[in-house]
Structure 1
């Protein structure tokens, strides 16, 4: 039909099929396989989560419309995602907020084995719906050497004049890279 003949005088269908097979397997007509654009670097564990907390806050009124506050809250933190660092933690936060300079706080996440993750929190403003940025600054046990970042928005559920507060975070997302646990120290000096 195509005018191809092999050396035996018959049609060269087998030659045509082999030629098409070779073209297909060498990929002459196919585009290269693209690499996924969202592939995480090795060791990065992404997560989302939910966090609810209760605690206390003491405020100091400043100039009209300004105040400073110290707060301490704690509660349950649950992470989701296939590569999350762990499922659940007891999370505690202690911090300072100022209506002019924003919020600065420190957080400790403790798992059921007693291993802890330490982070610092910063935000331009304190208040409902404002973005808070967290940065992991170390840990103990399996979290020794952890690094990474996370963000969330705080949502008050209770905020009364006696200083009792409760709330939850909205949109908790982040990533962590677990480091190698540090060897135990011997405690001696040289």
Structure 2
């Protein structure tokens, strides 16, 4: 379950739709309507509010507003508590940055043109207020996004090809396997 703390306008299509779906699941969990995910750590922040159903409803409303602006057809009637003012949930600055970095990692693979939207840096969803602090205790850290700002990424080992260009080791291994397979196929053709 990923309930993004980022402004929904920053979420690419896949993240926005998944967040909506998982937010609806979180709403059911918080209402006691399901047996699964009851101890999911991302729900701690909603449970810590005076009115958890209103807090998750407020969160879902912001997703609905963004989806509508993009022309998606989210069913607003699935939000059980709507229009109730709730105090913003505190969100640590490092958590916001971590989620932004994690989304950048995912978007780089599935929708690189969305990186321009993320280039302005992280902004919190309207359900949250940013406060100084580290990554939240409930977060499950993923290595790809855990890199502190300014730190260098490990360099990919590379090897030289026959043409002199460098190629990452993993790709080189695939190329070598392909060449061996082709060589075996040629041998089989010649021996027949």
Structure 1 or 2: larger helix share? Answer: 2
Greater Rg over alpha carbons, structure: 1
TM-score, normalization: structure 1? 0.20
Q: Which gives a bigger RCO, structure 1 or 2 (Cα 8 Å, sep 6+)?
A: 2
Structure 1 or 2: larger strand share? Answer: 1
